[in-house]
Amino acid sequence: MRLYSVGTAVAVQHAIIGRITTATSCGAETGKNCVLLWKHECPPLDYHSYGAILTPYNGCWWDVPPSVPLVHSLRGADYLADGDVVRIDPTGYVRTLYRKTSANNFILTTDRCNSYCLMCSQPPRQINDSDRIAEHLLLIDLIDPETKELVITGGEPTLLKDDFLRLIQACKEKLPRTAVHVLSNGRLFYYRRFAERLAELRHPDIMLGIPLYSDVDSEHDYVVQARGAFEETIIGLHHLAQYSVPVEIRVVVHALTYRRLPKLAEFIVRNFPFAAQVVLMGMETVGFVHKNMAALWIDPHDYQGELADATWTLFRSGLNVRIYNHQLCVLDRRLWPFACKSISDWKNVYLEECRSCALRDACGGFFESAIKKHSAYIRAIRHCELPHAKDPS
Amino acid sequence: MGQARFEAPDFYRPGGKYGLLPFHFMQFTPDTKLVVNEVGEHLLLSNSDFDTFITHQLDQGSNLYFDLKAKHFLFDSGSPVPIHLLAIKYRTKKSFLAGFTKLHIFVVTLRCEHSCPYCQVSRVSIDKSRYDMAPETASRALEFVFRSRAHEIKIEFQGGEPLLNFERIRQIVEEAEVLNTSARKQLEFVVCSNLALLTDEMLEFFRKHHVLVSTSLDGPASVHNINRPRPGGNSYELAIKGIHRVQEVLGKERVSALMTTTRHSLRYPREIVNEYVANGFCSIFLRPISPYGFAARTRRATGYTIEQFLDFYKQALDYILELNRSGIFFVELYARLLLTRILTPFPTGYVDLQSPAGAGIGVAVYNYDGDVYATDESRMLAEMGDKKFRLGNVHADSYEQVFGGEFLRTVTASSCVESMPGCADCAFQSFCGADPVHNYATQGDIMGHRPTSEFHKRNFAIIKHLLTIYHSDPIAKEIFWSWVRNAPLYGSQETSQ
């Protein structure tokens, strides 16, 4: 699925962030933060009530005053809808920041990271993007308050430090009914006061998803390519727990982590029994994975024993376990009750083979990247193979 | 910030030697040693692995090395993580200490219409004034209860047969609820009764005030009525009738039962367990006779050796596991208690097996005459004429004198398994606890003497038995976990391996 379009910009002096409206009727939304998406060949009647105007048509002949930013000839923008929030670049590049109809909205807070994970799906960049906070805060203003969940991700969002806390505070104020899920390596919560300050914001529905790759420091540090990261994450998790901030522990399963997965599960049971949930995830083969494919790749079929062991160890201790990014045909059947449809809609695909699968609707499918690289054991499951009257939920 | 290239695993592995962190160990089987760290995490090692480990010759990239490192048996760098994790888990294990006395036992009367030979304390007496708790004593004792800083307070009514002084129960519950409107504690009431005298009025009161019921059920009628004689010989019938009434009115989960093992019970482990299953219970607590009260005097008639008890316990446990295997969720509570300590980072609230002992600091007993005792067993001892563990009296002494006195401090300091001879170096130390009153009653000394202690023999044998099963029987392992989690197995096909 596309989340950007390119058109011809006229009078776009600087980046503009605004909420899409297609209606021009009386009482419809207008204002500086409102972007009119005009889907008619004739020009709109009112230019002045909007922060910018987008149109798929060639609007170069429209009599738009120079003070009104316009992007015309916008190609393939059918996915834009009322309530979506876009960022319009002076170059005519229009990127979707928020989709009202999607359950998978996120804020990419920064490209910077203090880890350098071997399998990072979104390789960090050492750039100074600290000024993006203003856009994030504006975005939070424009998001529909009925949004169920918002993911705060990066890079490493906590590198924003005070601005990270401002962001959470803004979520609490503007989106009090929206669950906030922060994807962080947790390392900065090694500093107790930072965890305490996050807790003091008293966000009503926040959870921090923090990855842990091994029960042994050197092995975790190797995967995240940062000495001392294990220590910071472990102590960070405990600081968060001490201040009652809900945490989720996330483990990406690959060739470097699967062997000790059952031991890691035991480690979690003994050291983080407070975890709100533990998520065991299949690897997305993008980003750094390509560089490290030889070290990382294992067919998920070949680690089902370890995955089942780890899942059971966590489950029987009373922890809430979920399995993400695994296809049911590859997953050990005992694990089906734990499998979730976890892949964000915009990068979720199914293969040709899946068409005839009896469980296609129950299955989470693949990351887009898996079209090129996936388990050799993908196959359509036939109705007659299903255990009768067995509810996998 | 990130670097431009990726480093190899060795870059992150510490060089140099490893050091050992404190742990306990024992020869578990001829071929294996059990190692247990300070917070109760354990591993079974082959003799040769153990030797390699303690002589600092482990391959620092081996799985065994990682296992021992992840469970804090060794350390290999300046990282504070092992100490941090041990400290936080140690605090968790000892968190039962926080808040001070949580369990408050009220002996509202010493009278009882039963005449059980194993009884720890009771008086078959009609002299009400002599053995019933007076209203002012109850009020004064409640003041003591609410002085405890504990957030969770459990008030337990015992006897004798507490229902013989139901008026006092009513008074205490109502007064406690009034006091709690300002104290705002998590308040719970339990009445320990044989249920023979239960009336609808009492039941209605229990329902209205959320009082839990704990009763005695020793097995089928043939066992129960021999163990628990009363006029009419109908203790069993009345108990069963009472249990069903309580289940009906208060709900199934609001009533539990305790069994006491007598010499007569020893031959009927299955029958006793079946009796519990048949009456809708999901658990049983297989208890030995306490060496107090009348039980001490009638020991020749009702008693047995510790080996006989262990044999009985193992047979019953085996049978209970068999039931669980067949799909019936049924828990042996003493096993659950020990397994929770072995398998989880959490403590248990069981005052008779803690370190330091729960006497006074976890439990206090307010006797009918206002005397305060450190444990239920202490007042039983007192009924035999030895008031060693009497902490004071609610009328004569202040709260500070009773709970802050030198005596209780001495008892507490002398009941830490971490320092007690024979316990200090025991591999099971972190699963176990101390009972100074038991030691004193049986061995004449608060510290006790481990090699001749039945308390030690029983706990040592049961812990070893549970660990043996856990590591040799994969299905039983899952059943044990289901007990710890207190939820039925997920379905037999879902068990791992």
Looking at A45-49, B171-175, B253-257, B386-390, which range is the least confident one?
A45-49
Which of residues B343, B369, B403 is at a domain's end? B403
B60 shares its domain with B172: no
CA distance B90 to chain A (A): 11
Q: Which of residues 221-250 of A touch B (CB under 8 A)?
A: 221-222, 225, 227-228, 230-231, 234-235, 238
In degrees, rounded to 5, the angle at the alpha carbon of residue B392 between the alpha carbons of residues B388 and B397 is: 160
Residues of chain A found within 8 Å of residue B344, distances taken between Cβ atoms: 269-270, 273, 317
Residue A7 is predicted with a pLDDT of 95
Instruction: Tell me the average pLDDT across B324-328.
Output: 95
- Interface A-B: count of C-beta contacts within 8 A: 100
- Is residue B165 in some structural domain? yes
Tally of structural domains, chain B: 2
Neighbours of B333 (CB within 10 A): 16
Q: How does residue A389 score in pLDDT terms, banded at 50, 70 and 90?
A: very low
Domain ranges of chain A: 4-97, 105-385
Closest residue to B13, CB basis, from A124, A218, A231: A218
Q: Contact A222/B11, CB-based, under 8 Å? A: yes
The CATH number of domain A4-97 is 3.50.30.10: yes
Residue A66 is predicted with a pLDDT of 83
DSSP structure class, residue A43:
P
Residue count (chain B): 497
B58 shares its domain with B114: no
B61 shares its domain with B206: no
Contact call for residues A47 and A68 (beta carbons, < 8 A):
yes
Residues of chain A found within 8 Å of residue B487, distances taken between Cβ atoms: 318
Q: How does residue A118 score in pLDDT terms, banded at 50, 70 and 90?
A: very high
Closest residue to B345, CB basis, from A113, A219, A270: A270
The 10s digit of each residue's pLDDT in B85-106 is: 999 999 999 999 988 999 999 9
B286 shares its domain with B388: yes
Domain range holding B47?
32-93
Name the average pLDDT for chain B.
Answer: 92
Query: Percentage of residues in chain A with pLDDT exceeding 70?
Result: 98
DSSP structure class, residue B103:
E
Residue B2 is predicted with a pLDDT of 43
B72 shares its domain with B141: no
CA–CA distances in Å: residue B13 to residues A229, B55, B201? 13, 20, 71
B361 shares its domain with B287: yes
**For A263, nearest residue in chain B (alpha carbons):** B67
Residue count (chain A): 393
Q: Contact B81/A235, CB-based, under 8 Å? A: yes
The 10s digit of each residue's pLDDT in A311-331 is: 999 999 999 999 999 999 999
As a whole number of angstroms, the longest Cα–Cα distance in chain B is 90
- Is residue B445 in some structural domain? no
- The ipTM estimated for the assembled molecules is 0.92
B126 shares its domain with B82: no
- Is residue B54 in some structural domain? yes
Q: Contact B41/A217, CB-based, under 8 Å? A: no
B380 shares its domain with B394: yes
B241 shares its domain with B125: yes
Contact call for residues A147 and A158 (beta carbons, < 8 A):
no
CA–CA distances in Å: residue A380 to residues A97, A247, A298, B183? 35, 36, 21, 63
**For A113, nearest residue in chain B (alpha carbons):** B1
B182 shares its domain with B223: yes
The 10s digit of each residue's pLDDT in A150-183 is: 999 999 999 999 999 999 999 999 999 999 999 9
B251 shares its domain with B116: yes
Which of residues B350, B383, B403 is at a domain's end? B403
| A32 in contact with B, Cβ within 8 Å | no
The 10s digit of each residue's pLDDT in B269-281 is: 999 999 999 999 9
Instruction: Tell me the average pLDDT across B308-324.
Output: 97
The CATH number of domain A105-385 is 3.20.20.70: yes
Closest residue to A126, CB basis, from B2, B41, B484: B2
Which of residues B403, B420, B439 is at a domain's end? B403
Instruction: Tell me the average pLDDT across B332-360.
Output: 94
Contact call for residues A85 and A78 (beta carbons, < 8 A):
no
B83 shares its domain with B175: no
Instruction: Tell me the average pLDDT across A69-97.
Output: 93
What's the CATH number where B327 sits? 3.20.20.70
Contact call for residues B323 and B478 (beta carbons, < 8 A):
no
Is a pLDDT exceeding 50 seen at residue A297? yes
* Sequence-separated (6 or more) residues with CB below 8 Å from residue A235: A189, A190, B80, B81, B84
The 10s digit of each residue's pLDDT in B404-445 is: 989 999 999 999 999 999 999 999 999 999 999 999 988 999
- Is residue B275 in some structural domain? yes
Instruction: Tell me the average pLDDT across B290-297.
Output: 66
The 10s digit of each residue's pLDDT in A212-268 is: 999 999 999 999 999 999 999 999 999 999 999 999 999 999 999 999 999 999 999
